[in-house]
Amino acid sequence: MKTEMDQIITLSDKDSSAELQKYLSSLTDDKLSTVITNGALKGKKVGTIIKGIFKGSPPSSTEGSNRRLLVYQHCIPLCESGDLQTEVAADIIGLLMLETHTLSGPSLAQLASLFVEAIKVGKMGSGKSLELFPTVLTALSACEALSYGKGELSGEEYKKQLINSLCSSRWDPQCVIHLTTMFRDVPLSSEELRFVVEKVLRMFTKLDLQEIPPLVYQLLLLSAKGCKKQVLDGIISYFKEQDIRQEEEQKHGESLDLEVQSIPQDQLRHVEGTAILHIVFAIRLDHELGREFLKGFKTSYGDLCPFSVALLLSVARIQRYEEQVFDLLKGAIIKSFKDEQLQQGSKFLQDLLPGHCSVAQMIVDTVKNSVFGWDHVTQGLVQLGFFLMDTFGPKPGPFGKTTEGSSSIARTPAQQACKLGGQVLLQGFKMHEPIRGEILEQVLNRLVTKTASPVSHYLELFSDIVVSAPMILLESSSKVTETFDHLSYLPLATVQGLLKAVQPLLKVSMSLKDALILVLRKAMFSSQLDGRKSAVTGFLLLLKNFKVLGSLASSQCSQSISSSQIQVDVHSRYNSAANEAFCLEILSSLRRCLGQQADVRLMLYEGFYDVLRRNSQLASSVMQTLFSQLRRYYEPEQDLLPPVKLEPCITAVGDQVYLQEPLAHLVSCTVHCLLWLQNMRRSANPNADNSDDDDEEEEEGYQSELQTILESMTRRMIKSELEDFELDKSAEFSMGSSVGVKNNIYAVLVMGVYEILMEYNFIKANYSKSCFEELMELFNCYHKLSEILKEKSGKGRVPSNKTPRSLLSLGFISTLLTVLFRDSTQSREEALSVLRSNGEFVRYAVSVAVQKIQQLEETGHTDGPDGQNTDRTFRFLCDMTSVLMWRYTNIPSGVEDAGKKEKRSSLSLLCLEGLLRIFTTCQQRHPDRMSQLLSTMEDNGEPDDGNVTEMNFFYIRQFQRALFTQLSGGEEEFNSKEAQLLVSILSVLSRQLKPSSQQFVQMITWTVKICKETSFEDSAFSKGLLSLLFSLHVLYKSPVSLLLELCQDIHSQLGDIDQDVEVENQSHFAIVNMKTATTAALLVLSQVDRVLDEVDWLIARKKSQAASDKSGSGEATQTAAQQDQVEKAVTLQLGTLLTALNELVQTVLLPGTCTVTLLRELTHTYTILTTLVKYYIQVCANQHNALPARFEKLVKLSGSHLTPQCYSFITYAQSGEISGSADDKKKKKRNEVNTASSAKLLRETKAIPNLIFSIEQYEKYLITLSKKSKVNLMQYMKLSTSRDFRINAATLDAALQEQDDGQDTLESQEAEDTQEPKQKKRKQ
């Protein structure tokens, strides 16, 4: 053997190849193969042997070329066998590659088939020899002709056949990566590349998870040749499927107790993370790939999934794509929320389309997944979170005011997007340590810098971060301390939110607390009023939260923020003595505020009560502070009237008068603190005989002294006449003069003091008749003053603001209403009759209740004690609801109105308004507690789910009954205001019903019945009732048929624009009559707009589906019979709308809003029709189907029923307009342009050209569609003459006649004639 080897080597070293050829010819094929094998196994000189064989086998001779082929056929399996050393195998393949081009066509074809067969049977495990395959294929494609079967093929074609058969055969999973790598070197046409990519993507599911990242890497390298979108889509959809499977397994795994998961979650996430890194790397190098990637998501967000969201966020780290990615995500998120809202608000869409895919959920999932070491995604998540919060956060209202809304419930898509941003940041903060510092810094920076716009959403996020991870925050407390330095420059609301949020930290961090106190002390002497207010806020918060040991644990006070992670007992950390010293020090700082502006003092008075309730040990200091302040304004001389000094309460700067001391609030604070302390003492030691403490005595001392002062005040305030306060009927109250301002301030202070004394005396009275009589006298004084104020302010040119805010506390009002209406205790009967007999007092109690509820609805809290405590305010709401409900249902308004024909609204109406406000407040601020509110009306404990609906419906029925009673009386007895309130309450309560429930259907049926049978000519009531009908109907089914009936009613009520036409008298709904038809028309048009929006949305969805079908695969063919549900629904909706609008377009509508709105809706309708036509143009271009018959009918309907009527309506609208403009001319001669009418004219004239343009656009695209679909759709369209130049003969004759008569005024006439055509031109 050795000799043969050596022989070949020796001969090949010589120059003459003839001997070598001769020698090789003498060896058999087997012998030659053995020589090569041995040489290869020993690894010595195999290269030289093969070179020698090639040298002695000239490709020109048949023998030579066969021998060469033999070498190839032998070496390829040899390299794959795995017996050779790696370097040897590489050498052999390298040699073979160099000589491939010398092989003949048939030899190449044989070699290629050998490779294909080996791959099919899975013999290409190591993939070493695959490097040769591209060279073989390249050489093949250069061949002229090759025999194939019975015929011949060119090399290119042959290569295509090979690749085709290779891609359609089975691949061994082991060699997928080798094959993909190999195809990078093969020159491929785009079609061949597509075959290959499809095959590789199909193989993904057969591979082990660990092998996916290298395959992704190879595929991305392959994508440099083309098919970029296909590669990316394939990778993303693979991971999307894996995610879904993994999620399902987790769901079922919990129920089935599966031991083994087919996809371990952590492994999948790590693989996804690596794949993302590969893709991002590829996109960095290949910008075309990046463009393709982003283009895929621009059309629709339906393709997004948690994996692609993570991928997008990673791509955002590449600077050139950052802006695009965030804009794309922003668009997808907001569109997703909008679509969701649209679907939730319409039963028609819910039935038509399956569930909604939520982008928000995907983003939340991405945050969860990023725990598995996806550091490259977290940065993008932080950016996205802040991007959403910045873009969609609350905006400043007019004049920079912030609108105080409910912060906890996100209703609009923008609010939801902002909330999502907050969730992303909060979850990110909890999970990823590296980004915590950045999140915290950015949040605090925004709190400090965004002073012009509201920052409530950042405060909420900061507060959540503190609660969820206080200890982590302490590590970066320096950042918080830095923020404190800016406190005195920040808006008050921000300071309050910030201090509330850091509260839990102050308890565990001395340094933070000290830093804050230093800042607050500085702020105390700030030149800015807001800075000083901030200091007061901060100090009050500290006082509330640092308990002095021995403070009574009052059952009512609850720690507003308690965190499970802060289990540090304050007293063990620094003792209670230190706490007490600390609190007293703060109090002494706060006393300085009593010499500052009224606003600062007011904050102090409002805060002291809460401080006392949290920290009862501070009672004596707080009470003494209040007491000494009160003494300044109290007249100790018992015989002097009035008992309070009003002079020092005001201050004058120049000729401006200001309030210096909010006296009523001071008295209020003192009274509430006193009552609370007495209450606590009583409950703490009911049998207190042995109280010999100095403290106790001291407390008793100032308590009794205060009581004496308050009793004396009550007595003397009753005696005082209005003249004593310099406020009588002759006093001036105009806000223009300084005297008027002073008197206004006095009046408000005095009324406030009366109110406080009423509350104090009611509580002290303990239901004694004589005390209640005193209370009535106080009320009479109050009432007298308030009447004067009302009367005087009403006289002024500018009516002053509403009655001043009542100082009665919410808790007291709730108690007062209960005793006035529901208390039937025998022993109290006599005393209460004193209160009940005074109608004005009862009315006053209810109106104050309504005022308080309104304040709750607008701001979420009320003045006075417990006003900030949501649980307590909610409890008071529950109590008031049951009382007002009882009062309204048990005493009919008819009874109380008898004999009283006053203009003011009756008690029943006030009760109803109160109820409406309570229900609205509850629905906005405590949506989840509505059932609790309703269940308190009937004392039956906590309701369950079925019970809730029943109970809700029970109240709905009661209000329905009340409304029915209103409607069953005659028109004279009908109280429109009450009926409107009832309708509003019904619409609020009906929102609580589930649209699928039996009760909801009953509610709709009842509303339809009322609308059909009520014929009162009251437009405000009919507007409320129809709005209720629409809001219910849209959740039940599509409202188009209802709209059609209403349009027919409106047409028959208002008559036709052609006076000769008699409209058939139709009346489906009695609520539509001459008086209410215009209102109804406007409501109907707003509903038409809504339906058109839904249709537009559906067409847009179909369009994007059609586009993705076209790009995805050409298989989406549908016959006309299979025309899908959405197209059918769209056509039907539009058909019914056209018929409805056909009725309205022929109706005599009032010029103005109604006409303009109709013109606008017609324009909208034609725009949507045009969109539908464009959609069918797109469909015809993609698939050559016949147009659906339904669509042709729709086009026919638009041509026969709408376009001609539109043009005649335009003529009608213009004729009204031109007559209007003639009047304007006369006015112009008298005075300059009447701006309002000309603006209106402009508005109307703009609506008309818009409509004509949209009709013509519609017809233009119809012509295009007719050509594309070979169906003549224009046969249904009649060309209009309404835009042609018109000469009205009668008008012309009259004008000529006038000209003959007035020869003497010819010049002026000519001047006018030159203007006239111009104006006409503008009309047209």
Residue 1309 is predicted with a pLDDT of 44
Q: What is the DSSP string of 832-876?
A: HHHHHT-HHHHHHHHHHHHHHHHHHHHHS--SSTTTT-HHHHHHH
Q: What is the pLDDT of residues 1189-1218, one digit of tens each?
A: 999 999 999 998 899 999 889 888 877 654
CA angle 1039, 1045, 1047 (to 5 degrees): 100
Query: What pLDDT is attached to residue 557?
Result: 39
Contact of 20 with 12, CB cutoff 8 Å: yes
The helix or strand, by DSSP H or E, that contains position 148, with its residue range, turns out to be: strand 146-148
Residue 1322 has what pLDDT? 35
- DSSP letter at 736 equals T
Lowest average pLDDT, out of 758-767, 885-894, 1251-1260, goes to 885-894
The Cα–Cα gap between 1319 and 727 comes to: 62
Look at residues 652, 658, 789 and name the one whose alpha carbon lies nearest to residue 734: 789
Residue 27: CA count within 13 A, CB half-sphere = 25
Confidence category of residue 782, pLDDT binned at 50, 70, 90: very high
| Cα–Cα dist 673/696, whole Å | 16
d(CA 388, CA 416): 10
What is d(CA 931, CA 923) in angstroms, rounded to the nearest whole number?
10
- Nearest-CA neighbor of 604 among 585, 580, 622, 618? 622
pLDDT grade for 1310, boundaries at 50, 70 and 90: very low
Tens of pLDDT, residue by residue over 998-1053, are: 999 999 999 999 999 988 889 999 999 999 999 999 999 999 999 999 999 999 99
What's the confidence (pLDDT) of residue 53?
72
The more confident residue out of 527 and 424 is 424
Q: What is the pLDDT of residue 1079?
A: 93
For the cut 70, the answer to whether the pLDDT of residue 1220 exceeds it is no
pLDDT at 179: 80
Which segment of 148-162, 331-345, 399-413, 545-559 scores lowest on mean pLDDT? 545-559
| pLDDT value at residue 1233 | 41
Pick the range with the lowest mean pLDDT from 478-487, 555-564, 632-641, 867-876.
555-564
pLDDT tens digits for 416-474? 999 999 999 999 998 888 888 899 999 999 999 988 888 999 999 999 999 988 888 88
Q: What is the pLDDT of residue 1243?
A: 60
Going by C-alpha positions, the residue among 465, 449, 638, 611 that lies closest to residue 545 is 611
Whether the link from the prior residue into 642 is cis, omega within 30° of 0, is yes
Tell me the one-letter amino acid at 206.
Answer: K
Cβ count near 302 (within 10 Å): 16
Tell me the CA end-to-end span of the chain in Å, nearest whole number. Answer: 107
| 1140-1197 per-position pLDDT tens digit | 999 999 999 887 788 889 999 999 999 999 999 999 998 888 877 778 899 999 999 9
Question: What residues contact residue 922 under an 8 Å CB cut-off, 6+ apart?
Answer: 874, 877, 929, 930, 933
- Looking at the chain, the whole-number percentage of residues with pLDDT higher than 70 is 82
Residue 428's CB is within 10 A of a number of other CB atoms, namely 22
Residue 629 has pLDDT above 60, yes or no: yes
| Alpha-carbon span 4 to 282, nearest angstrom | 52
What type of residue sits at position 1146? Q
Helices 319-344 and 306-315 cross at an angle (nearest 10°) of: 150
| Mean per-residue pLDDT over the chain, rounded | 82
Q: Which two tokens stand for residue 652?
A: 């004058």
CA nearest neighbour of 644 among 732, 725, 528: 725
pLDDT band at 181 (very low <50, low <70, confident <90, very high): confident
- How does DSSP classify residue 1199? I
Give the integer Cα–Cα distance in Å for 325 and 304.
Answer: 13
Residue 797 scores a pLDDT above 60: no
Helix, strand, or coil (residue 314): helix
- Count of helices and strands (H, E) across the chain: 56, 4
Distance (Å, rounded) from C-alpha 328 to C-alpha 700? 70
Q: Which two tokens stand for residue 128?
A: 């070493």
Please determine, for residue 693, whether its predicted confidence score (pLDDT) is greater than 70.
no
**Rg of the chain over all Cα atoms, to the nearest angstrom:** 44
Q: CA-to-CA distance for 789 and 796, rounded, in angstroms?
A: 11
Compute the half-sphere exposure of residue 391: CA atoms within 13 Å on the CB side of its CA. Answer: 19
Q: Report in angstroms the alpha-carbon separations of 32 from 10, 35, 52, 57.
A: 16, 5, 12, 12
Q: How confident is the model at residue 5 (pLDDT cuts 50, 70, 90)?
A: low
pLDDT exceeds 50 at position 43: yes
* Among 23-37, 187-201, 768-782, 1124-1138, the least confident range: 23-37
> Helix, strand, or coil here: 913?
helix
Supply the DSSP string of 411-465, one letter for each residue.
Answer: -SHHHHHHHHHHHHHHHHHHH-STTHHHHHHHHHHHHHH--SS--HHHHHHHHHH
| DSSP secondary structure letter of residue 737 | S
Are 135 and 100 contacting, i.e. CB atoms less than 8 angstroms apart? Answer: yes
The residues, any chain, with a CB within 8 Å of residue 501's CB and separated by 6 or more, are 459, 462, 463, 466
- Identify the pLDDT of residue 1044: 94
Average pLDDT over residues 716-732: 88
Which tens digit of pLDDT belongs to each residue from 81-139? 666 677 777 777 777 777 777 777 777 777 777 777 777 776 665 666 677 777 777 77
650-653 vs 151-153, strand pairing mode: unpaired
1230 pLDDT band, cuts 50/70/90, is very low
DSSP bridge partners of 656: 653
189: Cβ–Cβ under 8 A, 6 or more apart, which residues?
160
Containing 657, the helix (H) or strand (E) segment is: strand 656-659
Over residues 1269-1291, mean pLDDT: 72
Structure tokens at 843: 């009315």
- DSSP label at 639? T
Question: Which stretches within 1183-1288 are classed as H helix?
Answer: 1189-1197, 1203-1230, 1235-1269
- How many residues are present in the chain? 1324
Write phi, then psi, for 658 (nearest 5 degrees): -125, 155
- Residues with Cβ within 8 Å of residue 1077, at least 6 apart in sequence: 1049, 1050, 1053, 1054
What number of other Cβ atoms are within 10 A of residue 168's Cβ?
A: 9
Q: Which helix (H) or strand (E) holds 365?
A: helix 359-369
In this structure, which amino acid lies at residue 1172? L
DSSP-derived 3-state class of residue 146: strand
| Helix 839-859 with 907-925: angle, nearest 10 deg | 20
Q: How confident is the model at residue 1241 (pLDDT cuts 50, 70, 90)?
A: low
Element (H, E) at 653: strand 650-653
Which residues are registered as beta bridge partners of 146? 153
Per-residue confidence (pLDDT) for residue 282, from 0 to 100: 94
3-class DSSP assignment, residue 690: coil
Residues 1097-1113: tens digit of each pLDDT: 999 988 888 777 765 54
Residues paired with residue 651 on neighbouring β-strands, in sequence order: 658
CA–CA separation, 1107 and 1296 (whole Å): 63
Listed in sequence order, the DSSP H helices in 286-358 are 287-299, 306-315, 319-344, 347-352
Residue 1037 has phi, psi (to 5 degrees) of -165, 175
Q: Between these two residues, 517 and 1228, which has the higher pLDDT value? A: 517
d(CA 950, CA 956): 10
Side-chain half-sphere of 1059: how many Cα atoms within 13 Å? 0
> Are 953 and 999 spatial neighbours (Cβ–Cβ below 8 Å)?
yes
